[in-house]
Amino acid sequence: MPQTSAHFTRRDALRLLGGASACSLMRGQARRPNFLVIVTDDHGIGDVGCYGHKEALTPNLDRLAASGVRFTQWYANAPVCSASRAAILTGKYPDRTGVKGALPSQPSFDVPGLRAGEVTFPALLKQAGYSTAAFGKWHLGSAMYSRPLAQGFDSFFGWYSGWLDAYSHRYYQLGSAPGKIFHDLWRNTEEVFEEPAYMTELLAREASAHLARQKKDQPFAMYLAFGAPHYSMMAPKKYLDRFPASMERDRRTHLGMVAAVDDAIGLLLNQLRQQGLEDDTVVFFQADNGATREVRASSTAQPYTGGSNGAYRGYKLGLFDGGMHVPAILRAPGFVKAGQVWDRPLMSMDLLPTFLSMAGQDARVPASVDGRDILPVLRGEKRTHEDMFWSFNQERAVRQGDWKLILNPPKFPGEETGAKMWLSNLEADPGEKRNMAGSEPERVRQLTEKIRAWERYVGIPSEGDPE
């Protein structure tokens, strides 16, 4: 399949979806598909083997990619967890969901997040007769109306906070008085105690058991959000031993955590096959944002270097591509052909309308949704997004075609830009190394106007035009 947009044709798109037979399956599939959505945390493209990074041992993600479509320009809607996950669930720009940045974690469990009555893909699929379940990290609000059971899920096993200790299942905030330490693990509304079970393995156990209870006559949607490879940075020895002892400590721990997640994904894929549900289940995987540089993830109190965003500049908490250009894979038997690569930009908010289309509910996509069904895009019948936008604190960014403008670009340690505007052509310079703002003033002006119009649309204040 051609790897550059200049040579991509509708024939290539039909080949991606398996030609006319796949199109007819999409229109007349006898059984509505199940959905398994898997999200990882602070997981860069450089942490997945099938993206060309062989030191990352991810055989199950690699086989998932071989059986579906691997996206090379998939974007999270935000470079941080809560906002990114809000877009996955709602199909909207996160600023329009009321979830901005990363929500706080509180032992009172009353943090506002997703609004009461928010439209989510589990709620819509539940209305269409699906059973729904969520596992793992929620971080979309712990107030009663924001919790999973109020946002379309029939059942929940996981936690509300931004992260947990991997063995004690407690949230820790240290370094300033008075600090916070509290336990945060729940089955529906009941607090449960599973320490010292390693969290990734615990989620694998619970999610696999849930899949084992599924039947062919009841479609289901399952959302599994791992807390790894986010801190706390902990990996059992059996995962660390897969990597050379000479490997840099934080990198070895990071890849050990990824290996544990990959094993869990393999367990679920095998369970689907054992249940006879493999060909009936759409599996989608993505990271919520790129790898981080946060000191709190480091074993040496220095900027963290364990995760990798590959060739992309920047990290979590910033709008260079490293912050939200993430690994993503879709296996959808009957909808897309196996072993393909899609190399044009798409976004997390596209998932909701795509899932509804696959479920035969595309006519019921709410008008408030910002995402679009990607199946016609993959077929070559529609174009990808003309413009894509992001915000994070004072940063703003827009991508139009291959051009991307960042206002108030991030300043990571050792990578300070000294610029108020950063313009890149991502086709020519995917690593955003060269700032073309000075040589393209008219393009900067036009793209800045687009950002201001988008700010008004999503209801966030303008930070003013950088000078």
> Among the options 43, 50, 81, 230, which is catalytic?
81
Q: Are 329 and 68 in contact (CB under 8 A)?
A: yes
What is the DSSP track for 414-429?
T-----SEEEEETTT-
With a CB cutoff of 8 Å and minimum separation 6, the contacts of 134 are 122, 148, 153, 155, 156, 157, 158, 222, 223, 224, 225
Ramachandran category for residue 234: left, alpha or beta (phi over 0 → left; psi -120 to 50 → alpha):
beta
Q: Are 405 and 423 in contact (CB under 8 A)?
A: yes
Distance of CA 319 to the CA centre of its chain: 15
> Does residue 81 carry a catalytic annotation?
yes
SS3 194: coil
Q: Is 174 exposed, middle or buried (0-12, 13-18, 19+ CB in 10 A)?
A: exposed
- Tokens matching residue 40: 């990882």
Distance of CA 375 to the CA centre of its chain: 19
Smallest Cα–Cα separation from 1: which of 460, 345, 386, 344?
344
> Among the options 23, 43, 53, 139, which is catalytic?
139
> Does residue 23 carry a catalytic annotation?
no
SS3 69: strand
**Number of Cα atoms under 13 Å in the Cβ half of residue 318:** 23
Beta strands in 87-169 (DSSP E): 131-137, 155-159
Distance of CA 226 to the CA centre of its chain: 11
d(CA 128, CA 44): 34
- Tokens matching residue 287: 């990271």
Q: How many CB atoms lie within 10 A of CB 156?
A: 22
Spell out the long-range contacts of 4-7 with Cβ–Cβ below 8 A and sequence spacing 24 or more.
Answer: 4/343, 4/427, 5/343, 5/344, 5/402, 5/427
Active site residues: 81, 139
